[in-house]
């Protein structure tokens, strides 16, 4: 029974790979000499025209690329550039129409995929039923997403920004003073929320649980969960014997959704996470786990998806190197914090690693899929049960290979530098090794230096996440610097430079602000150590000597940041050494870095959507 299940997983995995490859043929529309008789590409071109008409944009080479990026890669950045000259309300309407179109497009594709799985009787009756009902629940989450965005991101958050003239520190002071953040375990201030802030007639605010703020949407999701419970009750999990765990998981999700007391929401969702951590099958669901868009109260996004593992993936020893680095640095720093030390080691030792692909996805994930993820964010649950790490290297490499070459890359790095960056995608052995160090290492890096109180205590200025993403990536890098023989050091440095520079393009995209800020900190190190220089043109100096300087810089800065975490200080104090808040965006303190960031972003806004048709 188990052998057949894994054979079926391989079939589905191959099917997903083929589907992604087919979907990426959208990019062939942009090729000047493409075949005019290719029926599939002509069909995709019709879809692009339909998408642009639906969202109200004219057809041009730039809008077509933005449309393809939004549909195929679920990325909004190019679309936001295209509509940047429109009024804010019109931009919101365009973004919302794009979400509706994309969600309908994928829901139809998922239905076809499910019909294939059912027709071929892949997996087992229990898991076929699970996947089918996960899809039905996902449809309900997707319908809810628009009203969630309208109420929180385009509603109360914009009102708060207006009332406090964009002063985010004052917003956080008010939220804390008025006790408008959800309470977590033991009644302490939570590090995220599952409620909505509502303004009263007298100008005061109150918290309202999702069950009241979105009563119709929650009712629809819960009905579909009930249907799933009834359907699953008819079958046994003869492969992994986890039927009871799955049923409890669904029950806990329903209970959490229906909870109306804002101060009981975090504990209720912690019970969801506990039930979920007991499920260790190669087929996983993802529920509301993380916050992305809401920078004020960290309202958890409406994630919902189905993930499957790659049956052929051989797990490496990344976690062992991360643990060795943590132990050694903790001893060197010399600040005794037993709670943090114990929790970090326990979490590392309990990690469940899943490397695979998304099978189905819904809700907020139609606005972007992650390349990897470590969850749950609830550190109380993690202390008890550890975390799960998900990574999608095959999907990411396939996506990068399919993208057209961009004029911006050649303008920034020159022909030789651009060719080196693109050639890395063809050296798959090196690419997967770098992904393991940087991306999977990043997810393990999130676990370090924290206990269950860290985020809530350190987020006094609302900037915790801005330091946390840098801490995570740097944790993976430092473990590599300390315990590996510097294999692929040139490829790693090239990839790191390219990623750090590309993050500048997210300067004005609020949902991914932590990654933009992370990029600024990496650029500070790259410029300070001479790996990068800029004087009208960016120059890369990838030498062994500069690599050694960069290693020393990261080790020192990482130790400084680890001390901030051990002492649970306000992360703003650390970030203030590198960044400053401009009129609306964060900018580098260092003039060299600042001049390059401004240069890149101006060029990005001008030619960031132009592809090259020949080198």
- pLDDT number for residue 34: 62
- pLDDT number for residue 40: 82
Q: Would you mind telling me the total number of residues written for the chain in this entry?
A: 615
- pLDDT number for residue 116: 97
| In the chain, ranges of CATH 3.30.540 domains | 140-306+359-385
Angle between helices 407-423 and 489-502 (to 10 degrees): 160
Return the DSSP state at 56.
T
Residue 209: in which H helix or E strand, if any? Answer: strand 205-209
For residues 438 and 496, is the Cβ–Cβ distance under 8 A? yes
For residues 394 and 17, is the Cβ–Cβ distance under 8 A? yes
- pLDDT number for residue 37: 59
Return the DSSP state at 293.
S
3-state secondary structure of 263: helix
Per-residue exposure over 68-85, b if at least 16 CB sit within 10 Å of its own CB, e if not: bbbbbbbbbbbbbbbbee
Secondary structure string (H, E, C) spanning 140-199: HHHHHHHHHHHHHHHHHHHHHHHHCCCCHHHHHHHHHHCCCCCECHHHCECCCECEEEEE
Residues 6+ apart with CB under 8 A from 341: 330
Ranges in the chain, pLDDT < 50? none
- As to burial, measured by CB atoms within 10 angstroms (0-12 exposed, 13-18 middle, 19+ buried), residue 297 is buried
Q: Choose among 335, 3, 289, 42: nearest CA to 141.
A: 289
Which residue is associated with the tokens 């490859």?
21
Residue 309: in which H helix or E strand, if any? Answer: strand 303-309
Residues 6+ apart with CB under 8 A from 113: 15, 19, 359, 360
Q: How far apart are CA 488 and CA 55, in angstroms?
A: 44
Pairing verdict, β 205-209 and 283-286: unpaired
Which residue is associated with the tokens 């990897």?
372
- For the chain, the straight-line distance linking the first and the last C-alpha, in angstroms and rounded, comes to 53
Secondary structure string (H, E, C) spanning 419-456: HHHHHHHHCHHHHHHHHHHHHHHHHHHHHCCCCCCHHH
Q: Measured between alpha carbons, how far is residue 527 from residues 471, 486, 523, 594 in Å?
A: 19, 21, 6, 11
Give the model confidence (pLDDT) of 382-438 as tens digits. 989 999 999 999 999 999 999 999 999 999 999 999 999 999 999 999 999 999 999
Q: How far apart are CA 83 and CA 427, in angstroms?
A: 37
Q: How is residue 109 written in tokens?
A: 């594709």
- pLDDT number for residue 613: 73
Q: How far apart are CA 38 and CA 440, in angstroms?
A: 39
Strands of the 303-309 sheet, one edge to the other: 283-286, 303-309, 352-363, 388-391, 372-375
Q: How is residue 348 written in tokens?
A: 């590392």
Q: How far apart are CA 353 and CA 343, in angstroms?
A: 18
> So what's the architecture of 140-306+359-385 in CATH?
2-Layer Sandwich (3.30)
- pLDDT number for residue 475: 98
Which residue is associated with the tokens 């786990």?
289
Q: Choose among 148, 505, 475: nearest CA to 291.
A: 148
- As to burial, measured by CB atoms within 10 angstroms (0-12 exposed, 13-18 middle, 19+ buried), residue 600 is buried
- pLDDT number for residue 371: 84
């Amino acid at each position: 029974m188990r052998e057949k299940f894994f054979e079926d997983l391989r079939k589905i995995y191959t099917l997903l790979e083929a589907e992604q490859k087919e979907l990426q043929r959208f990019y062939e529309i942009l090729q000047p000499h493409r075949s005019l008789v290719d029926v599939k590409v002509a069909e995709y071109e019709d879809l692009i025209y339909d998408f642009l008409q639906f969202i109200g944009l004219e057809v041009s080479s730039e809008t077509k690329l933005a449309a393809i990026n939004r549909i195929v890669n679920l990325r909004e950045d190019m679309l936001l550039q295209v509509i940047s000259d429109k009024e804010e309300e019109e931009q919101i309407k365009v973004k919302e129409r794009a979400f509706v179109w994309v969600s309908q497009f994928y829901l139809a594709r998922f239905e076809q995929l499910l019909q294939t799985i059912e027709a071929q009787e892949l997996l087992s009756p229990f898991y076929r039923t699970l996947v089918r009902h996960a899809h039905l629940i996902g449809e309900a989450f997707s319908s809810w997403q628009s009203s969630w965005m309208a109420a929180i991101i385009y509603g109360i958050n914009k009102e708060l920004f207006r009332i406090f003239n964009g002063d985010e520190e004052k917003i956080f002071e008010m939220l804390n003073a008025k006790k408008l953040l959800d309470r977590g375990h033991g009644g302490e201030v939570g590090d995220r929320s599952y409620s909505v802030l509502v303004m009263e007639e007298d100008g005061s605010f109150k918290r309202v649980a999702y069950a009241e703020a979105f009563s119709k949407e929650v009712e629809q999701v819960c009905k579909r969960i009930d249907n799933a419970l009834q359907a699953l009750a008819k079958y046994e999990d003869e492969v992994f014997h986890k039927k009871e765990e799955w049923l409890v998981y669904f029950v806990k999700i329903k209970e959490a959704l229906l909870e109306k007391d804002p101060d009981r929401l975090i504990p209720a969702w912690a019970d969801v996470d506990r039930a979920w951590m007991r499920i260790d099958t190669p087929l996983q669901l993802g529920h509301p786990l993380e916050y992305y868009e809401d920078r004020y109260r960290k309202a958890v996004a409406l994630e919902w998806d189905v993930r499957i593992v790659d049956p052929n993936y051989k797990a490496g020893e990344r976690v062992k190197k991360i643990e060795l680095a943590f132990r050694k640095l903790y001893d060197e720093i010399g600040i005794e914090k037993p709670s943090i030390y114990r929790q970090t080691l326990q979490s590392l030792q309990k990690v469940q690693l899943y490397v695979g692909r998304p099978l189905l996805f819904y809700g907020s994930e139609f606005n972007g899929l992650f390349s990897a993820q470590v969850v749950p964010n609830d550190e109380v649950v993690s202390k008890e049960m550890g975390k799960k790490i998900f990574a999608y290297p095959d999907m990411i490499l396939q996506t990068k290979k399919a993208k057209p070459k961009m004029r911006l890359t050649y303008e920034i790095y020159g022909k030789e530098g651009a060719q080196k960056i693109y050639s890395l995608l063809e050296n798959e052995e090196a690419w997967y090794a770098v992904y393991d160090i940087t991306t999977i290492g990043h997810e393990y890096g999130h676990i370090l230096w924290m206990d269950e109180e860290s985020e809530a205590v350190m987020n006094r200025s609302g900037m915790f996440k801005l330091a946390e993403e840098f801490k995570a990536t740097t944790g993976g890098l430092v473990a590599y610097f300390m315990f590996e023989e510097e294999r692929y050091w040139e490829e790693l440095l090239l990839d790191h430079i390219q990623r750090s520079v590309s993050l500048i393009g997210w300067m004005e995209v609020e949902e991914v602000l932590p990654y933009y800020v992370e990029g600024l900190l990496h650029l500070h190190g790259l410029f300070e150590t001479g790996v990068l220089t800029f004087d009208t043109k960016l120059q890369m100096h990838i030498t062994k000597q500069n690599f050694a300087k960069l290693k020393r810089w990261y080790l020192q800065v990482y130790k400084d940041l680890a001390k901030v975490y051990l002492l649970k200080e306000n992360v703003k104090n650390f970030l203030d050494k590198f960044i400053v808040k401009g009129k609306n965006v964060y900018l580098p303190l260092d003039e060299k870095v600042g001049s390059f960031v401004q240069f890149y972003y101006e060029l990005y806004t001008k030619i960031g959507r132009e592809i090259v048709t020949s080198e």
